[in-house]
Structures are given as C-alpha cells and as structure tokens.
C-alpha cells in the first residue's frame, strides 16, 4: 500500500499524524487487493480539522472526507467512511456472484438470444482443464488459499474425477465421479 500524506496549514505535529494515519489505513488491506495508492490530505482551517482520503486501486476510486474539531476524530471518521464503502462494494460483488451461480444452477438463461430456440440448449463456452492428481486434503487446502468457488481434480487414491466447491456458508462439498 503506497500512502502519500499532505499537510496543509499544520505545523510541527506531522509525525504522529502520519503514523496514526498509516496505522488506521492498515485495516483496509483486508478489503482490497494490491496495488493500492492512497492520497491523504490533512488540513486545519480555524477550528476545523479536515481529513480527506482518496484510495485508488485497479480502476477503483473511493473518496472520504470528514471535518471535526479534533484531527484524530476526523481521521477515524474518514477511514470508517472508506471502510464502509469497501465493505459495501465487496458485499455487492459477493451477492451478485452467488445470484449468478444460483441462476445457472436453476437452469435460467442469463442472456437469452433473440434467434435461439428455448427448447434447444446451447454451449456458450468450452474450457479445457488439466486434471491434477491430489488428495482430498490437498484440494481443501488449495480451495482455502484460492478465491475460486470450485476445483476439478483427479483423486490420487481412486483415480476418479472429483469436484470440490465452496458453499455460501464457507464449507466445502465434495462430488465424486464413480465409473460404472
């Protein structure tokens, strides 16, 4: 996380404000992927302390600005505002993904084509994958470290194709193919 702090009309107390700001911004790392650029402007005008935060990452820009009597309170409120926006964005993307998966499982067509007949199924995309042999424990470990919702692999013990996927509650479901 690259943080640049600018001070306006502030004299002498810049070190503790910079450290305090960096400490507060560290908690935002769990909501957003790297690389992140954060521009912070701290200013004082009469009795108003203003903290303005501009966070940008991979085309995403989030702004938060707060004015308070105390600089720490202004910083806290601005960081909280940014955190709320990041949580909302992450929750939106999570729900839209699960809604899409539910529609696919229910058999709904996401983009109906005008010329296509409703009774005739159509393959939209074909992906080829390499079935890596691994144990169930290795598959669960891989799922915990990745952001993917499922993994297709070859079970090392039985040589059968298996699929493991993550449910909405975070637990895993294992589907084993049995040859007849």
pLDDT digits (tens, 9 = 90+) for 110-156: 455 555 455 678 888 888 888 889 998 998 888 888 888 889 999 88
Per-residue tokens: 20 = 């305090």
Per-residue tokens: 10 = 């502030």
What spatial distance separates the first Cα and last Cα of the chain, rounded to whole Å?
54
Element (H, E) at 124: none
Q: Based on the domain organization, do 54 and 97 belong to the same domain?
A: yes
CATH number for position 161:
3.30.505.50
Q: Which domain holds residue 12?
A: 2-104
Band of pLDDT at residue 158, cut at 50, 70 and 90: confident
The total number of structural domains that make up the chain: 2
What gap in Å lies between CA 106 and CA 119, rounded to an integer? 15
Give pLDDT tens digits for 55-101.
888 878 889 999 998 888 998 999 899 888 888 888 887 777 677 76
């Amino acid at each position: 996380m690259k943080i640049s702090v600018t001070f306006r009309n502030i004299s002498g107390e810049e070190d503790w404000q910079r450290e305090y700001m960096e400490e507060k911004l560290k908690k935002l790392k769990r909501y957003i992927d790297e690389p992140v650029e954060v521009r912070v402007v701290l200013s004082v005008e009469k009795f108003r302390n203003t903290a303005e935060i501009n966070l940008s990452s991979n085309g995403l820009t989030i702004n938060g600005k707060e004015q308070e009597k105390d600089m720490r309170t202004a910083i806290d409120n601005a960081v909280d505002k940014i955190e709320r926006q990041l949580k909302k964005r992450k929750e939106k993307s999570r729900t839209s993904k699960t809604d899409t998966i539910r529609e696919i499982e229910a058999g709904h067509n996401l983009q109906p084509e005008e010329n296509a007949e409703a009774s005739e199924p159509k393959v939209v995309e074909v992906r080829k994958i390499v079935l890596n042999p691994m144990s169930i424990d290795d598959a669960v470990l891989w799922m915990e470290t990745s952001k993917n919702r499922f993994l297709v692999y070859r079970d090392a013990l039985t040589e059968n194709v298996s699929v493991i996927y993550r449910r909405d509650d975070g637990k895993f479901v294992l589907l084993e193919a049995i040859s007849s």
